[in-house]
A and B are shown apart, each in its own frame.
Chain A
Amino acid sequence: MQIYLPIAEVSINAFLLLGLGGIVGFLSGMFGVGGGFLITPLLLFVGVPPGVAVATGANQVVASSISGVLVQMKRKGVDFRMGLVLLVGGFAGSFVGVKVFAWMTALGQIDLFVQLSYVLFLGLIGAMMFAESTRALLRARKAGAAAPIRRSHAHTWVHRLPLQMKFRTSGLYISVLPPAAIGAGVGFLSAIMGVGGGFILVPAMIYLLGMPTRVVVGTSLFQIIFVTGFTTIMHAINSQTVDMMLAFLLIMGGVIGAQIGARLSTRLKAEQLRIMLAILVLTVSFKIALDLLLQPAELFTVTPGLLP
């Protein structure tokens, strides 16, 4: 069943879109990520224009994050104060990101910019996650080997900055500057890549801020809702590229996939999940890198301008 998307102005099979949403929802339920890093390249692949793919991807991440944060709130896994600090930075980053996006579009380099961001960030995070989870898996194999002790309150340079604030749920007393900066970076990426940034936020909260793992996923989802929500509205106003019909189909597929994924994830070990996610992230990054390095079949691209 073909469906005509009013903003993207292309006709795509509705079941294909439900399926894409389902796959991404499945992964997001399984690994606890928003899945934005997958949805944008997949949409580009099925023929959705880049601007629409990025903006609508952000809208889809809002839905999956809300679904996830409600579960986390029940478990008291959301540090609202930390979330708000991340948010302030996030809004600033997203605002700048949308402007840069518009500027790059005008220059004709938006595709390159989006692709480079994907290769760089996915490659980096994927490699780090892969290395870390492989070590964890090997350690688990070696029976009797003691797990390394990681202090929850390791004092680093982060703890010597001004504007200290108490974050009770996380049990932290640190400066607001690092979380605000991390939030800004994630907001910027959200606007450029159409992603929530969970894959950067989660490791940053654990390793840079020293937050307990218990509250990391919920807090990151909380911040992602608002940043991607803000990004969606900014794109809707600046470039009218949010396709509600497309978002609706992706979300419908996504919520079903997320349930299946969440159930399956309880049967697998945390290290196994992380290593699978790492491989997935690296594959996406590798595929995009190849597109940049190999000679494209068609050197020319046509971009419609305004009506004369």
Chain B
Amino acid sequence: MIRALILLLALTAPAFANEALVSGLSQNRVQITANFDGSEILIYGAVKRDAPAPDGPPLEVIVTVEGPSTGLIIRRKERVAGIWLNRSSVTVDAAPSFYAVATTDKLDKILSGTEDLRHHITIPQVIRAVGISDEAENAPDFIEALQRIRLDESRYRIAERSVQLADETLFRTDIALPANLTEGNYKVRLFILRGGVVLDTQERLIAVRKAGLERFLYNLAHQQPLLYGVLSLVMAAVAGWAASAAFRFVR
């Protein structure tokens, strides 16, 4: 009976998923210290299969890295009485502070629309903006502007064909995290696809944390604001006094 079950499993399993994903990260912690100047993460992996690679459409890989999401307000300037000022605004429920997509080929070629909707892979899919059309005229313009601004700031990036894939088995890509990182957990997602359909996915986390003096100052500013303010003044007072004392000494 048991033997029959094993046989059955062995026969049926490949039909469901004969290609599975194994992956790793060069580091799963990023520490933001005073001299932090960005960081590069190597994401690598392999496709595990118990039968030869099937014929048909080639294997493709998509890697996404997503920073912590925040709500956003997008404002548009308009000319009022000769002066450019913020007039209309749209509130976005959640948009990632950082988002990078790396692929083996053109996104629209390797990913079908329905799979994008299901797995939220492209940039428009990760921006959550519900019911914005009531907030301002031409609300989609605001979301487009958000993408444009963040692409310019390199907070969002699309790196098509930056994943190197060897023999439809081994793959690797480098994702550069910028210097102006927001603290939080960065979600790394890996997808393998054939013919626009996702075969397997994996998810990993990179913990980005301020460390050392940065950590200390940030915590102090938020947990003990009064003490922090007083300390800032003491520092200013000591520096001011020292300058005047040094000036006298030089003269």
Contacts and interface: CB of A to CB of B under 8 A. Distances in A.
Contacts of B176: none
B17 interface: no
A63 B240 contact: yes
A60 interface: yes
B233 A296 contact: no
Interface string A100-132: 000000001101100000000000000000000
Contact of B243 (A244, A255, A306): A255
Given A63-B237, A242-B221, A295-B79, A306 B70 contact: yes
A109 B75 CA distance: 10
A2 B233 contact: no
A204 interface: no
B236 A62 contact: yes
A117 B231 CA distance: 29
Contacts of B246: 255, 259
Interface residues of B, number: 67
What secondary structure prevails in chain A residues at the interface with B? helix
Given A247-B232, A293-B82, A236 B226 contact: yes
A296 B84 contact: yes
Given A70-B244, A71-B244, A232 B179 contact: no
Contacts of A280: none
Contacts of B83: 112, 292-293
Nearest to A294: B84
Contacts of A1: 35
Contacts of A259: 243, 246-247, 250
Contacts of A293: 82-84
B89 A305 contact: no
Interface in A271-308: 292-296, 298-308
Contact of A307 (B71, B73, B142): B71
Nearest to A234: B229
A236 B221 contact: yes
A11 interface: yes
Interface in B68-105: 68-79, 82-86, 89, 91, 93-94, 97
Pairs of residues from A and B, 4 with the lowest C-beta to C-beta distance, nearest first: A66-B240, A236-B229, A11-B179, A255-B243
Given A66-B244, A308-B94, 11 more contacts: A11-B179, A62-B233, A62-B237, A229-B236, A234-B229, A247-B232, A251-B236, A295-B79, A300-B148, A302-B74, A308-B71
13 contacts: A4-B37, A63-B236, A108-B75, A109-B86, A112-B85, A240-B225, A242-B229, A259-B250, A292-B84, A302-B74, A305-B70, A307-B68, A308-B69
